[in-house]
Amino acid sequence: MMIIDTEKCIGCKQCVKDCVARDIEMVDGKAKIHNVTCIKCGHCIAICPKDAVTTDEYNMEEVQNYSKDKFHVDPENLLNFIKFRRSVRKFKKQDVEVEKLYEIIEAGRFTQTAINMQDVSYVVVKEGLEKLKELTLESLKNIGEHILANLTPETMVYKRYAQIWIGMYEAYKENPKGKDGLFFNAPAVIVVTANIEVNGSLASSNMELMTNALGLGTFFSGFFVRAAQENKEIRNFLEIKDSKQIVSCMVIGYPDIEYKRTVPRNKADIGWK
């Protein structure tokens, strides 16, 4: 539950005003949290000027006081950092440190979720990459064969992908150590799952920024997500709960390529009312 130290509380009402769940009221000049509609978002902890709010729900040792030197990010640099990011599909034969994978997941863990659900989970695949690759390619092959056997004017757009997936599977079966068109010989994969897709998507976006900040490269494997969507064997292998959706698959490694500049994009499609 959320706890207010009445000795520290000065009755400034900041937590009352900022509580999205309307679970805090003033009683005898002190803030009181009812812990009835509270969603444990932590806004009251963050806003209290006297550090009077704590909780037994989380580890309070993770709480850090704001300082400009540690927390401020220059907006121009941040925008340029986003512009410069590239999807990487060429990786060095170099392992990714477990500590860096934890830092990437931390970026996801502290990403906002709807009503503070904190429903995002992560599966890190290193030792099991070959098995995951085999399961994924087999699933893609089956999907491709189904598409080709049931082509309609509406599904013709998927014909090219069906042929690619079948070709990838056949090449893998012929030479499992040959060209890797799925994970591109990266040393690690993080599969992001969530009860609500948008929560996993938001976490994945922040995780990509952290990946780049750590000097690593990544791309999101849409092929894997398509292969795993309704594949029980893949879900069982990754031990993904039935309640979770597979949202993204981050293929991670040290880039074996160096980009020199940003690239142009279409103008933003903006409507003003």
Interval 77-103: pLDDT, tens = 999 999 999 999 999 999 999 999 999
Question: Hunting for tokens 């340029």 — which residue is that?
Answer: 80
Return d(Cα 246, Cα 235) in angstroms, integer. Answer: 9
Cα separation of 74 and 89, whole Å?
29
Same domain for 214 and 180? yes
CATH number at residue 35: 3.30.70.20
pLDDT at residue 3, as a whole number: 96
Sign of CA dihedral 38, 46, 193, 220: positive
Q: pLDDT digit string (tens) for 98-119?
A: 999 999 999 999 999 999 999 9
Residues 165 and 259 in one domain: yes
What's the pLDDT tens digit per position in 234-245? 999 999 999 999
Planar angle of CA 251, 244, 43, nearest 5 degrees: 90
Question: Which domain covers residue 244, as residue numbers?
Answer: 73-273
pLDDT at 268: 97
Q: What is the reported pTM?
A: 0.94
Q: Is residue 68 part of a domain?
A: no
pLDDT value at 21 more than 90: yes
Whether 67 is in a domain gets the answer no
Residues 119 and 203 in one domain: yes
Verify that 116 and 237 share a domain, yes or no.
yes
Whether residues 161 and 220 share a domain: the answer is yes
pLDDT, averaged across the chain: 97
Query: Is position 194 within any domain?
Result: yes
85 and 220: one domain?
Answer: yes
Q: Report the interhelical angle of 159-174 vs 129-149 (nearest 10°).
A: 140
Is 227 within a domain? yes
pLDDT at 230: 86
Residues 165 and 53 in one domain: no
Q: How many domains does the chain have?
A: 2
